[in-house]
Structure 1
Amino acid sequence: MDARIERTRRALQGALLELAHERPFDELSVSLIAERAGVNRSSFYQHYGDRDELLADALDAAAAAAGADAPALELIPTGRPPAGMAHFLTHFADHAELYRRALGPRGSALVAARLRNRVAGLVREGVEHTHSHAFDDMPLELAAAGIAGSIVGVITAWLELDPLPDVDVAGEWVWRMVLGPGDTR
């Protein structure tokens, strides 16, 4: 990608994240975001179709910058979540207000779909890595989609709690949903 395009996209993403910590997302106009980024409205529309597309890219970039890649979801029934689970969930806690908006009832279908797809990919990798036979009688894509939906559902519900429980607690909840109803204690 051209360096100027990348620089403008990063400026817009950073402006959106900064502004979102100052006021609700629904109050952020394209003009305000563009002004904060130091570009004009037409530049915004040269790079993004709307605020939701920018939001999805900004959250993806923030997750990558924070090293918040989800832990490998190796579906080994242990009582403890994978070591990286808390780090993964910290990214959501750091941007809780944006994720509440993006994953909520009037949220961004694009953000939710990207998150589900990313988590489903991690589940597929985990199943393949562990050579699990738990899903041999069904398409792996179906199993990964179901587990990803559960994980995103738990994350969404956790972010709605006030006060927000600690990421370690949320990690335990996510892991219990991944493992299913069996007792792993």
Structure 2
Amino acid sequence: MDPRAIRTRKALQDALLELLKTDSFDQITPRHIAAKAGLAHGTFYRHHPSKEAMLDELAKKEINDLHQRQLQLLGTSGLRAVALSYADYFIEKRELWSVLLNGGANAIVREEWLKLARSQAREHAHPGDRLPHDLSTAFATSALVEIVGWWLRQDQGHSVDFFADMLIELLFDPIRKASTSPNLKF
């Protein structure tokens, strides 16, 4: 991709994230995004067919990056390492995820996360599991989004270890306790 196009897409993305700090996604228009980025209105449409497509692209990329990172760790490390890796990831991308989970796009990002999690869960579902995969996926996604969103709203008052403990106690342990799947990796 042309370096100018990469810079323009990044400027548009940054503008959207900045606007989401104060406005709901429904209130934001492509014109607002372009103006905030210091670009002509038509430039937005040369890079994105709609603001929804732009947000979907951003959310999918971030969720997929996170998911791939965690899948690699699940196969090689313990549960605590996975939980700490989540914490490191969300600290590294704190501003982005604060806006995505606590800003004006919360419902859209949550839905996209659930959609991706469901498609991946179907691949790993065990037919004899006592815990239905659609229930565990909805529970896990909702719990993760709530725990991360809550943690990011805090003023640095809760440590990485506290966050990891909450993931294990509120998310991983209940699923592990209810599931009978031999495919469960934690």
Q: TM-score of the superposition, structure 1-length normalised?
A: 0.61
Matched, 1:148 2:144: no
Question: In the alignment, is the contact (CA less than 8 A) between 1:120 and 1:148 conserved in 2?
Answer: no
Question: In the alignment, is the contact (CA less than 8 A) between 2:102 and 2:149 conserved in 1?
Answer: yes
Matched, 1:107 2:73: no
Give the C-alpha shift of residue 175 in structure 1: 1.7
- Equivalents in 2 of 1:20, 1:141: separation in Å? 32
Question: In the alignment, is the contact (CA less than 8 A) between 1:16 and 1:58 conserved in 2?
Answer: no
- Equivalents in 2 of 1:7, 1:116: separation in Å? 33
The gaps in structure 2 that reach 5 residues or longer are 178-186
Alignment correspondent of 1:45? 45
Give the C-alpha shift of residue 48 in structure 1: 4.0
Identity over aligned pairs, percent: 16
Matched, 1:30 2:27: no
Give the C-alpha shift of residue 144 in structure 1: 1.5
Alignment correspondent of 1:98? 96
- Equivalents in 2 of 1:7, 1:88: separation in Å? 32
Give the C-alpha shift of residue 152 in structure 1: 1.4
- Cα distance change, pair 164–42 in 1 and its aligned pair in 2 (3 A): farther
- Equivalents in 2 of 1:59, 1:164: separation in Å? 27
Give the C-alpha shift of residue 84 in structure 1: 3.3
Alignment correspondent of 1:89? 87
Aligned length: 164
- Cα distance change, pair 107–72 in 1 and its aligned pair in 2 (3 A): same
Cα RMSD (Å): 4.1
Q: Could you list the per-position Cα deviations for residues 104-132 of structure 1 after superposition, in whole angstroms to 9, with x for gaps in the alignment?
A: 3743422222223344556566664xx98
Which amino acid is 2:156 matched to? P
Give the C-alpha shift of residue 154 in structure 1: 1.0
Give the C-alpha shift of residue 161 in structure 1: 1.2
Q: Could you list the per-position Cα deviations for residues 93-112 of structure 1 after superposition, in whole angstroms to 9, with x for gaps in the alignment?
A: 23323323322374342222
- Cα distance change, pair 11–45 in 1 and its aligned pair in 2 (3 A): same
1:154-169 paired onto structure 2 within 5 Å = 154-163=147-156, 165-169=158-162
- Equivalents in 1 of 2:88, 2:165: separation in Å? 13
